[in-house]
Amino acid sequence: MGIFNMIINGQPVKAESTFDVINPATGEPFAQVQAGNATHVDAAVAAARAAFPAWSGLPEAERKRLLHAIGAAIEANMAELMELVTKESGKPLGGLNGIGSGMEVGGAIAWTHATADLELPVEVIQDNDDARVEVHRKPLGVVASITPWNWPLMIAIWHVIPALRAGNTVVVKPASSTPTATIRLVELANTILPPGVLNIVTGESGVGSAIAKHRGIDKIVFTGSTPTGRSIMQNAAANLKRLTLELGGNDAGIVLPDVDPKAVAPKLFGVGFHNNGQTCACLKRLYVHDSIYDDVVAELARIAGETVVDDGLAEGTQLGPVQNKAQLNFVRELVEDAKEHGARIVAGGRVKAGAGFFFEPTVIAEAKDGMRVVDEEQFGPVLPVIRYTDVDDAIRRANDNENGLGGSIWSNDRARAAELARRLECGTAWVNEHGALQPDAPFGGVKQSGLGVEFGRYGLEEYTSIQTLKIMKR
């Protein structure tokens, strides 16, 4: 069993005790990780603060070079990182439609290189005979990253690389159920970066709270549940920390009657079930027009029945286990509640017998607004399909949710679909797609789905403060 240490000021650090990391495909531990505490948070923040002046003062070209070297190191260790991601998160090496740990590590490489090349040029507001007014972007100081268990390595990259690119130093706290790939990432990065620039503290309880309250941290970037995000926001008020919060989503997709059910169903299934539905911007509520409803449901059920569910390390696996037992029980609870309230389970609906936290890919017909499986984020391999007759009503129902991360319209009429998509109350809207992200396009939620954005220039600006410089000429 592997033992993974924290990294503080460039050095491995042990705690007084460790905790187990469970492989969700077997239900058994495969690694032990240090159980850090608030004292380790203090040490990591102190190291980051000490490293900040030199790191923020490096020439832009040098910071870029070092970040590109991190991308190269991830690529050189891709196979090892893929195996760690699969063992801790359960996602297959390949996965449904190629979305698995290979995609996660490959995406981490691509995001690192793309973010390294981002620019924040000086903006000139005025330049005349009276004065020159410039707007400069300056790093904030110490950034804390708190990451979730569903895409552990990818989201760490989404947090860490723009923070470093902007000139900040970083303390990472990964989810306690999926820390190993992120620890290995930080180990690799510390062979490249100066000591203290990137630190990692692991722990089960208390570490996140210590970070949220810490007065030596200037910004927190967090991906996870809305209740936890609210708690972080409350604690961050003590020293007015900057925040980027990417929180829960209950994304709706609306299928118009002009599509071919057999052609659209595989796409809908892919965007609803990749990573076992454990993606913030997965399709989680599917509204289908009455005229094609039965045909779309039948196709989704057929695909679900043919999907290969197994250990993510096994060849040909499309979907792995749910990441943890608590989430498995929650998914089962939502499905049972839907059955009790009149929905039909047309595919799946059961926990798979044997070891691990496996749940069959589940398609729920005759789902209705008001059912828990529709109103709450399932975050599992479950897709409720809701019937509608009027598209304006479908949009109203899609918007009648406290979440607002993503949404989609599916139609052969792209112009009409784009017009309808703009009416969805969400941070990102797609036409004939759902959940596709890219490193140069901003991504973030509205309503209870978050605060701020990530990716591209807009995301990079979130790691900086503005300084206005006015130079008088008279």
Active-site choice (104, 280, 282, 426): 280
Torsion of the alpha carbons at 200, 205, 210 and 213, rounded to the nearest 10: 130
The strand pairing partners of 466, in sequence order, are: 137
How far apart CA 230 and CA 245 sit, in angstroms, is: 9
- Amino acid letter, 291: S
**Alpha carbons 37 and 212: distance in angstroms, whole number:** 13
Inter-helix orientation angle 60-76/78-89, to 10°:
70
CB proximity list for 240: less than 8 A, separation 6 or greater: none
Q: How many residues does the chain have?
A: 474
Beta strand pairing call for 142-146 and 219-223? parallel
Residue among 88, 104, 246, 461 flagged as catalytic: 246
Q: Catalytic residue at 462? A: no
Q: Coil, strand, or helix at residue 125?
A: strand
In sequence order, what are the residues at sequence separation of 6 or more whose Cβ sits closer than 8 angstroms to the Cβ of residue 177?
Answer: 21, 22, 88, 149, 323, 324
Instruction: Give one word for 452, left, alpha or beta, with left for phi > 0 and alpha for psi -120 to 50.
Output: left
CA distances from 4 to 1, 125, 190, 410 (A): 10, 50, 15, 45
Q: Are residues 120 and 464 in contact, defined by beta-carbon separation less than 8 angstroms?
A: yes
Task: Return the SS3 of 248.
Answer: coil
- The token pair at 474 is 């008279």
Longest distance between any two alpha carbons in the chain, whole Å: 81
Mark whether 402 is an active-site residue: no
Give, in order, the Cα–Cα distances in Å from 461 to each of 109, 116, 163, 456.
Answer: 21, 14, 10, 9
- Give the strand pairing for 242-246 and 450-451: antiparallel
**Which run of H or of E encompasses 51?**
helix 38-56
The DSSP bridge pattern shows strands 2-4 and 28-34 to be parallel
The residue among 460, 368, 448 whose CA lies nearest residue 403 is: 448
- For residue 112 the two structure tokens come to 């690192």
Q: How far apart are CA 363 and CA 23, in angstroms?
A: 26
As annotated, the active-site residues are: 246, 280
